[in-house]
Each structure stands twice: as structure tokens, then as C-alpha cells.
């Protein structure tokens, strides 16, 4: 029929995002990070779990009042509802959503305990593939989440368990010019592979972004054209992952980058781990 659109071809899940065994879990620092990183592919995943590390409510933040909330608890509850609304659009039920409840901007202060909790969570749910953040000094909670996942996998290996595979999605970091950089991995490690999103997937991801009403100014900074993934590299979490500096040093996000190596080193010592 003249003027009608040709239907888009049926999408298939990239092999990188297919588990070799067990379940798929998307482990994100804050509600909305999972949508930024992998929202366009979420409907293709088979019954995925979505684990949010923090409650999304930074202490003393103007975000709470801006969202019309009177307390951290009220703001955290709002962010949970927004996450549930966004995931419902992708076909993920509320029963698949979990949160560790760590305070927003405070995850780096409890790295060892967070890694132990993560290991228990991954083992209990028989997770064979984890999609999560890279370590690239964009947000301290992103880096703490990456640390927790890598350390948890190393702990499972120590216990003789079959570890899940770790695949990274992009977050954001500081560009060589000192600006916000999203949709690509920081230089110095493999660039990963970009998967263009067809029109229907872009439209769905846009609707998912709109579900995060309290984060409208943040999610609008991220593109919809493609999503990029890579197998997670081995990190030395006590050393900077690149030479461009920490994006979060420009803000009061609960941590300075010169504190991170000390916190990571102490946690690795406590856990009995090296690079992971």
C-alpha cells in the first residue's frame, strides 16, 4: 500500500548478550542506569533480573525537593516506582526487580561488604551472565558497582563455583577535553561493539526514559541510536583506568578520586583478592 511502512526485520539477541548457562542479570548503580545502558535490548533478554545497587536518593541533594518529595525515603520510593514503570514497558515484571538499598553516592564506602552481598545474590539466583558498568571514573557508584561485580565473581571462583560472565554496557566518563562523554567506552581499553537500535527499539527506549520523570534532565543527555557492549576486562581497581581524570571530581558526589584507590585497596585486602 502506498505510504505504508515496511515492517522492521525481527531482531535477534547479539551472541555477546546470550548466557552460556543460568539467568541474565542487569546490575546497575541507580534506577535508570539499566535503561541508559541496555534499555533497547531488554525486551530481547529472556526473563532478566534487574538489580539496582543504590536507592537512587543522594543525601542532602536538591533532587529530592525538585521532585516534590519531602524526604530521602519518599524520593527513593518514587525512583522505585519509576523503575517499575520503565521495566514494565520492556516486559519485565516487578517481581524481577531487586535493590540492595545502599545509599546513593555511598556505595564506595562499603566495597567489601557490597562484594560479599553481590556474590551471595549471584549464586542464589544462578546468574550466568551479568550486564553492568565499566570502571571509568564517571560516577563513584558506577565504579563501586563494577568493583562489586568483579570482586563477587572472583569470590565465587575461590569457592569453586562456576562464575557468571561479565559484559559491560556504556555509562559516561570524562572526555579528553574534560567534557561529558556517553555512548562510548573510555580510551585505553577495547572499544566494544555498537549495535544500532531500529526505530521501534528507539521509540521504546524513549518511552522508558520518559518513565523516569524525576530524572528528565539527566536521561535526556543520552542518545538513542545504538548501544555498545564488550566483554569486561580485568581491572586493577587501585589504579586509574585511564588518564583523563574523574568526571565526578567536578561535582560533590560523595567521593574524590584520590580516595578511591585507598578504599578499593582496603576492600581487596579484606577480601583477599588482587586484580579482577
pLDDT at residue 97, rounded to an integer: 98
What is the overall mean pLDDT for the chain?
A: 94
Cell numbers for 67, please give them.
521532585
What is the rounded CA–CA span in Å between residue 25 and residue 97?
Answer: 10
Cell numbers for 17, please give them.
548478550
- Residues 42, 92: contact at Cβ < 8 Å? yes
Of residues 59 and 17, more confidently modeled: 17
What is the rounded CA–CA span in Å between residue 42 and residue 2?
Answer: 33
- Over 50: is that where the pLDDT of 162 sits? yes
Q: For residues 186-210, give the mean pLDDT.
A: 97
Q: For residues 4-29, give the mean pLDDT.
A: 83
Grouping H, G, I as helix, E, B as strand and the rest as coil, residue 228 is strand
10: confidence class by pLDDT, cuts 50, 70, 90: low
What is the rounded CA–CA span in Å between residue 27 and residue 99?
Answer: 10
64: confidence class by pLDDT, cuts 50, 70, 90: confident
Complete DSSP assignment for 44-110: GSSS-EEEEEE-S--TT-HHHHHTT-SSHHHHHHHHHHHHHHHHHHTT--GGGEEEEEEPTT-GGGG
pLDDT at residue 6, rounded to an integer: 45
pLDDT at residue 43, rounded to an integer: 97
pLDDT at residue 9, rounded to an integer: 53
With a CB cutoff of 8 Å and minimum separation 6, the contacts of 203 are none
What is the rounded CA–CA span in Å between residue 5 and residue 235?
Answer: 46
pLDDT at residue 208, rounded to an integer: 98
Convert the pLDDT of each residue in 248-275 to its tens digit. Answer: 999 989 999 999 999 999 999 999 999 9
Percent of the chain with pLDDT over 90: 89
- Residues 173, 137: contact at Cβ < 8 Å? yes
- Residues 166, 153: contact at Cβ < 8 Å? yes
Q: For residues 110-130, give the mean pLDDT.
A: 98
Convert the pLDDT of each residue in 231-251 to its tens digit. Answer: 999 999 999 999 999 999 999
Of residues 64 and 167, more confidently modeled: 167
Residue 24 pairs in a beta bridge with 129
pLDDT at residue 63, rounded to an integer: 80
Amino acid at each position: 500500500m502506498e505510504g505504508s511502512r515496511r515492517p522492521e526485520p525481527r531482531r535477534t539477541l547479539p551472541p555477546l548478550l546470550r548466557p552460556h548457562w543460568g539467568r541474565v542479570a542487569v546490575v546497575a548503580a541507580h534506577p535508570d542506569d539499566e535503561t541508559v545502558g541496555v534499555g533497547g535490548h531488554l525486551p530481547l533478554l529472556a526473563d532478566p533480573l534487574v538489580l539496582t545497587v543504590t536507592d537512587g536518593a543522594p543525601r542532602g541533594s536538591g533532587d529530592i525537593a525538585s521532585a516534590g518529595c519531602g524526604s530521602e525515603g519518599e524520593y527513593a520510593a518514587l525512583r522505585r516506582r519509576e523503575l517499575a514503570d520503565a521495566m514494565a514497558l520492556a516486559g519485565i515484571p516487578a517481581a524481577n526487580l531487586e535493590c540492595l538499598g545502599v545509599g546513593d553516592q555511598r556505595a564506595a564506602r562499603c566495597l567489601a561488604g557490597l562484594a560479599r552481598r553481590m556474590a551471595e545474590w549471584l549464586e542464589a539466583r544462578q546468574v550466568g551472565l551479568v550486564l553492568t558498568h565499566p570502571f571509568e571514573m564517571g560516577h563513584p557508584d558506577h565504579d563501586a558497582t563494577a568493583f562489586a561485580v568483579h570482586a563477587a565473581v572472583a569470590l565465587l571462583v575461590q569457592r569453586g563455583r562456576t562464575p557468571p560472565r561479565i559484559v559491560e554496557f556504556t555509562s559516561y566518563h570524562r572526555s579528553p577535553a574534560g567534557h561529558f562523554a556517553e555512548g562510548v567506552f573510555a580510551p585505553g581499553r577495547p572499544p566494544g561493539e555498537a549495535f544500532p537500535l531500529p526505530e521501534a527499539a528507539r521509540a521504546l527506549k524513549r518511552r522508558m526514559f520518559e518513565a523516569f520523570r524525576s530524572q528528565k534532565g539527566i536521561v535526556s543527555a543520552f542518545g538513542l541510536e545504538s548501544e555498545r557492549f564488550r566483554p569486561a576486562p580485568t581491572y586493577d581497581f587501585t589504579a586509574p583506568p585511564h588518564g583523563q581524570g574523574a568526571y565526578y571530581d567536578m561535582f560533590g558526589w560523595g567521593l574524590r578520586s584520590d580516595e578511591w584507590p585507598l578504599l578499593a585497596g582496603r576492600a581487596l585486602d579484606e577480601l583477599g583478592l588482587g586484580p579482577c
